[in-house]
Structures are given as C-alpha cells and as structure tokens.
C-alpha cells in the first residue's frame, strides 16, 4: 500500500534516505521519513500555490539548484525547491540535512536525481517580479526603491534575486503592473476572504467583482 501511495507524489527520496525509512504518505501528500526528532518530510504543491512572491515570509537565501531549479531557504531546515510547475517543500531538523535531501530528491520512477528545469510561474507572479526589476533599473538605492513601491526592502531583494535566477528572457514580454502593490494586496485580502465565502459581504462586492479580484492575484494567495 505504501508503494502505491508513494506513486501519487511528484518527488520523493525512495524507500529510505540516510538511514531514515519512509514511514508514511500523509493525506496532504507529504512523504515522512524517520521519526521525531530527526524526522524529514517532503511535500509537493504547484508553483501557483507556493512561491517566493506568494509567501509573506522573506527567504534567507534564494539560489539555483541542480541546473535551473530554484531553491528558497526559510527557517532552519525548511527549503522550497521550485522546478517546472512543482514546488517541493522540505522540512528537516537542520539546514544541512534539508540541503542534502534537496540534492537527492527525485521523481517516482527515476533511479537517480536529474537536472531540474526552471520553475514556471503564473502571470501574476511574473508581473510582480517585473515590477521590482523595472524599479531597480533606476539609480535609486534599494531603500528608495522599496519606499517607492511600498514593498519592504527584504522582499524587494528576494524578488530581484528570484527574477535574476530565471532563464534569460522570461520576463521580456511581461508588462509592468499598472496596479500599485497596495491594490494587489487588497485583491489578495479579497481572495483570502473568498476562500471562506465571506468576500462579498466583507468588502461589499458583487460575485463578479470577487471573481475578477481572485483572478488578478492567481498565484499570490496559496490557492489556485
């Protein structure tokens, strides 16, 4: 049963990894290896559901991994690996162990890890990356760019780093957003409320207006 369940996920570490056996595949699709306190887990989501721009937490590091894949490190032992349309989140007890798992993870059916293609993001995510790239082309400092955009300096820095790691030309045809970041944030709040069917009442909007707001921020709310 475990093998059959494991086939449902995009990335895993085999039946065991570094002496930690595959214990279970949870209902949410997470592979769990070993037992606490040295437990290791991998969970796959789409790049639309989880990406650097959608999260409100600023990553400590953003870098290429295994070719064109992009890794983002958050709290200790937590790494997101973005490739194609998948973001695999790794949780481990140490950064070193999480990075080791990121280098070793592979798709079911693969006997060994292969080079990873670059992640693919929804247009809303690409537009927000283009926003910071366009603003950073001016001679102003990062702090001044941050103040102009209304986006925290750490967030601007992380988005610039992500944009520069994408394949050349990825943002070439992407327009700079006309809506200010504060307006995008407002749309995000509408989308969050829509998830629990409270947006129309909370914001005084029609159903069509709610749908339009949700569509505008697809890829920025954790739900797609």
Q: How far is residue 41's CA from residue 33's CA, in Å, rounded to a whole number?
A: 6
Residues 9 and 100 in one domain: yes
Residues 54 and 141 in one domain: no
Residue 36 has pLDDT above 90, yes or no: no
Residues 14 and 61 in one domain: yes
Task: Look up tokens 């490739």; give the residue.
Answer: 83
Q: How far is residue 42's CA from residue 29's CA, in Å, rounded to a whole number?
A: 8
- b/e code 13-51 from CB counts within 10 Å (16+ = b): bbeebeebebbebeeeeebbbbeeeeebbbbbbbbbbbb
Residues 97 and 141 in one domain: no
Residues 185 and 153 in one domain: no
Residues 127 and 161 in one domain: yes
Whether 200 is covered by a domain: the verdict is yes
For residue range 55-71, what is the model confidence (pLDDT) as tens digits?
A: 999 999 999 999 999 99
- pLDDT at position 21: 94
Whether 172 is covered by a domain: the verdict is no
Whether 62 is covered by a domain: the verdict is yes
Q: How many separate domains does the chain show? A: 3
Residues 70 and 31 in one domain: yes
Residues 131 and 199 in one domain: no
The mean pLDDT value for 180-206 works out to 96
Domain that holds residue 148: 123-165
Whether 60 is covered by a domain: the verdict is yes
Residues 71 and 134 in one domain: no
Whether 187 is covered by a domain: the verdict is yes
Whether 118 is covered by a domain: the verdict is no
For residue range 110-146, what is the model confidence (pLDDT) as tens digits?
A: 999 999 999 999 999 999 999 999 999 998 999 999 9
- pLDDT at position 52: 98
Provide the CATH number for the domain around residue 68.
3.40.1000
Residues 40 and 99 in one domain: yes
């Amino acid at each position: 049963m475990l093998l059959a369940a494991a086939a449902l996920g995009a990335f895993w570490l085999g039946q065991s990894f570094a002496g930690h056996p595959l214990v279970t595949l949870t209902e949410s699709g997470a592979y769990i290896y070993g037992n606490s306190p040295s437990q290791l887990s991998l969970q796959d989501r789409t790049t639309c559901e989880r990406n650097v721009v959608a999260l409100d937490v600023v990553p400590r590091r953003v870098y290429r991994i295994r070719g064109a894949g992009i890794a983002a490190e958050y709290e200790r032992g937590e790494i997101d690996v973005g490739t194609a349309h998948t973001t695999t989140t790794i949780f481990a007890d140490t950064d070193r162990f999480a990075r080791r798992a990121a280098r070793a993870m592979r798709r079911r059916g693969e006997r060994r890890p292969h080079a990873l293609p670059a992640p693919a993001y929804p247009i809303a995510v690409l537009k927000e990356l283009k926003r910071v790239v366009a603003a950073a082309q001016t001679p102003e400092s990062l702090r001044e760019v941050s103040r102009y955009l209304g986006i925290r300096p750490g967030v601007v820095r992380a988005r610039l780093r992500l944009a520069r790691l994408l394949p050349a030309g990825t943002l070439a045809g992407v327009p700079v957003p006309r809506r200010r970041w504060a307006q995008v944030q407002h749309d995000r709040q509408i989308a969050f409320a829509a998830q629990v069917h409270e947006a129309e009442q909370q914001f005084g909007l029609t159903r069509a207006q709610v749908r339009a707001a949700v569509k505008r921020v697809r890829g920025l709310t954790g739900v797609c």
